[in-house]
A and B are shown apart, each in its own frame.
Chain A
Amino acid sequence: NAGVTQTPKFQVLKTGQSMTLQCAQDMNHNSMYWYRQDPGMGLRLIYYSASEGTTDKGEVPNGYNVSRLNKREFSLRLESAAPSQTSVYFCASSGRQGKGQPQHFGDGTRLSIL
């Protein structure tokens, strides 16, 4: 019963380093999402993918890139990490975007940029 799997769970980076956060779902969902969660703020959408082969910007896309590798996998890349990107990152998936279907979340990645 894997659901949505995120790796890694924790990561510490130095300013300017790059890294990719991985996300995979085994529920045959069409839509996948990347969010960041910061203290005192709600989850904010970074990027989403409504279906395989498509990606769109969310509310806070600057400094990030994404790849929808196939239906299962949706990765988030920080090309040059900045301290402002210190956050907890959540990947989520749902059956069809905009159809009122629930989102299923991964356990999160705690990322610190020094």
Chain B
Amino acid sequence: KNEVEQSPQNLTAQEGEFITINCSYSVGISALHWLQQHPGGGIVSLFMLSSGKKKHGRLIATINIQEKHSSLHITASHPRDSAVYICAVDTGNQFYFGTGTSLTVIP
């Protein structure tokens, strides 16, 4: 049983394209997190959401609590955005993680 499902698993885009990564979850949450993992393995937190929408530069994250769904959008994608994007939910007791979406942006 996967508490967090992400789609797509792999994504290749041309530089400049608009990208959407989706996350669905099946548990009650106190917050949802989007993480970025670069080749080489380091993981950084991009967003933490409990409602609505957040924007940071070219990245936008949205969440619909009723539908248990979140999306991460990247506008004007760039090769440096190539990474694995991970959705994680905080249930209040622990975190559950999606398997990640591997994004490759081609120049």
A interface residues, Cβ below 8 angstroms from B: 33, 35, 40-45, 48, 58-59, 88, 90, 92, 97-105, 107-108, 110
| A33 contact set on B, CB distance < 8 A | 95
Nearest B residue to A42 via CB reads B97
Q: Decide if B76 is an interface residue (CB 8 Å cutoff).
A: no
Nearest A residue to B43 via CB reads A105
Range, interface on chain B: 20 to 34
Partner of A41 from B30, B42, B88, B99 at Cβ < 8 Å:
B99
Q: Is the CB of A99 within 8 A of B95?
A: no
| B103 contact set on A, CB distance < 8 A | none
| B30 contact set on A, CB distance < 8 A | 98-100
Partner of A42 from B33, B92, B94, B96 at Cβ < 8 Å:
B96
B49 CB to closest chain A CB, in angstroms? 9
Q: Is the CB of B93 within 8 A of A98?
A: yes
Q: Is the CB of B41 within 8 A of A45?
A: no
Q: Is the CB of B90 within 8 A of A42?
A: no
Q: How far is the CA of A42 from the CA of B48 in the complex (A)?
A: 18
Nearest B residue to A99 via CB reads B30
Q: Is the CB of A42 within 8 A of B45?
A: no
Q: How far is the CA of A36 from the CA of B104 in the complex (A)?
A: 24
Interface residues of B in 1-57 (CB under 8 A from A): 2, 4, 30-31, 33, 35, 41-45, 48, 50
Q: Is the CB of A42 within 8 A of B98?
A: yes
A59 CB to closest chain B CB, in angstroms? 8
Q: Is the CB of A103 within 8 A of B99?
A: no
Q: How far is the CA of A107 from the CA of B42 in the complex (A)?
A: 5
With A42-B4, A42-B86, A43-B86 already in contact, the answer to whether A102 and B45 are too (CB < 8 A) is yes
Q: How far is the CA of A33 from the CA of B95 in the complex (A)?
A: 10
Q: How far is the CA of A42 from the CA of B25 in the complex (A)?
A: 13
